[in-house]
Amino acid sequence: MRALIVDDEPIARKILREELEALGSIDVVGEADNGKTALVKISSLKPEVVFLDIQMPIMSGFEVLDCLQGGYIPVVVVVTAYDNHAIRAFEAGAMDYLLKPIRQERLIQAVERARVLARSPQRVAENLAQLQEVAAPTAKDGRKVRKIIGKLGEEYFLLNPHEVLAFQAEGDVTWIITAKQRYTATQNLRTIEQRLQNTTFRRIHRNSLVNVEQIRKMSVLTSQRWLVTLNNGQEFIVSKRQAKNVHDVLSW
């Protein structure tokens, strides 16, 4: 398994490299001493697992996590000298974390877990979304909204809710619609709606969920039916049953 070590301390990188190489099943393909370099090397070297220190200058480990938007997503193992960061990562659903100084038995356990997780790109994306959620700043209403996972071909992408225009169900497939692309959702429309409660998304039809901040125009078709036009020009019909949601938007 290809690994990248990210830590601002040269001695820490050297020790971890030696420990990993001693396992015989890990190929350390690179190192980075700050977050910006780490992002470049993740993109170019495509490691299956990244051992990521949290406390770093220039760009922290949590900031690195937030910049991983998708396409290629590695397994992330958080490495830290501070218990509070480890606990936050663990509670967020992190695949694993390592507390400095790293014990060999914990390192072996983390590598094996990473190997299992790396076999499922969707689980890797979900794991990263959980880590990004705990690292994200809290909104004014006290909420943290996890990024939305979309699939394009064989790759997974983490999308910010504000860049999503709408969700549309077609049979067993739910589409995520953005200004430039359509992605396949990893969850059904009902689950997505539940996750996005009390946000800017509204159900307007049994197969459609739209971001009201992306509505450009609403036209009356009948007394109880509307036509919604989004900023990308796509149109959705508001069903009679969901008409109240449109009235709620109009009353803002």
Residue 150 maps to a domain: no
Residues 199 and 182: beta-carbon distance below 8 Å: no
Three-state SS for 238?
Answer: strand
Q: What's the whole-number mean pLDDT along residues 156-180?
A: 93
Residue 93 scores a pLDDT above 60? no
CA distance 150 to 144: 19
- How many structural domains does the chain have? 2
Task: Say if residue 121 is in the same domain as residue 177.
Answer: no
Q: What is the pLDDT of residue 133?
A: 76
Q: Identify the CATH number of the domain in which residue 239 sits.
A: 2.40.50.1020
CA distance 109 to 30: 21
DSSP β-bridge partners for residue 70: 157
Residues 18 and 64: beta-carbon distance below 8 Å: no
Residues 215 and 229: beta-carbon distance below 8 Å: yes
Cα angle 142-146-148, degrees, rounded to a multiple of 5:
145
Task: Say if residue 31 is in the same domain as residue 100.
Answer: yes
- Parallel, antiparallel, or unpaired for β 208-211 and 173-178? unpaired
- Parallel, antiparallel, or unpaired for β 96-99 and 75-80? parallel
pLDDT bucket at 144, cuts 50 / 70 / 90? low
Task: Say if residue 115 is in the same domain as residue 9.
Answer: yes
Domain range for 84: 2-135
Q: Is the pTM of this model over 0.85?
A: no
Residues 242 and 204: beta-carbon distance below 8 Å: yes
pLDDT tens per residue, range 6-55: 999 999 999 999 999 999 889 999 999 999 999 999 999 999 999 999 88
Q: What is the pLDDT of residue 247?
A: 62
